[in-house]
Chain A
Amino acid sequence: MLPEPADPAPETAGHEQAEGLGFEDLVRRHQRMVFSLAFHFLRDRAVAEEVSQDVFLRLHRHLDGLDLGNGVVHWLRRVTSNRCIDYARQRRFRLLSFDSTPEPAVEARTRDPLLSRRLRRLVASLPRQSRMVVILRYQEDLMPEEIARILDTPVASVKSQLHRALRTLRDKMLRVVGDPR
Chain B
Amino acid sequence: MMRLQKPHELDDALREAFRRVDPPPGFADRVVRRASQSPVRTTIGTRAWLRWAAAAVLVMAVSGGLWYRAEERRRVEGEEARRQVLLSLQIAGSKLNAVQMKINRHEESRQ
Q: CA A39 – CA B17 in complex, angstroms?
A: 12
Query: Which of the 9-residue segments B29-37, B53-61, B73-81, B98-106 touches chain A?
Result: B29-37
Q: CA A82 – CA B30 in complex, angstroms?
A: 22
**Interface residues in A100-139 (C-beta closer than 8 Å to B):** 106-108, 110-112, 114-120, 123, 134-135, 137-139
Bin the interface of chain B by size.
Answer: 20 to 34
Residues of B within 8 A of A (CB): 1-5, 10-11, 13-24, 27-32, 34-35, 39-41, 44
Number of A-B residue pairs with CB-CB distance less than 8 Å in the complex they form? 118
Residues of A within 8 A of B (CB): 1, 4, 7, 23-24, 27-28, 31-33, 35-36, 39-40, 45, 49, 52-53, 56-58, 60-61, 106-108, 110-112, 114-120, 123, 134-135, 137-139, 141, 166, 169-170, 173-174, 176-178, 180
Q: CA A120 – CA B22 in complex, angstroms?
A: 17
Contact between B20 and A108 (Cβ–Cβ < 8 Å)? yes
> Provided the pairs A31-B27, A32-B23, A138-B18 are in contact, do residues A53 and B34 lie with their beta carbons within 8 angstroms?
yes
Q: CA A137 – CA B23 in complex, angstroms?
A: 20
Contact between A112 and B5 (Cβ–Cβ < 8 Å)? no
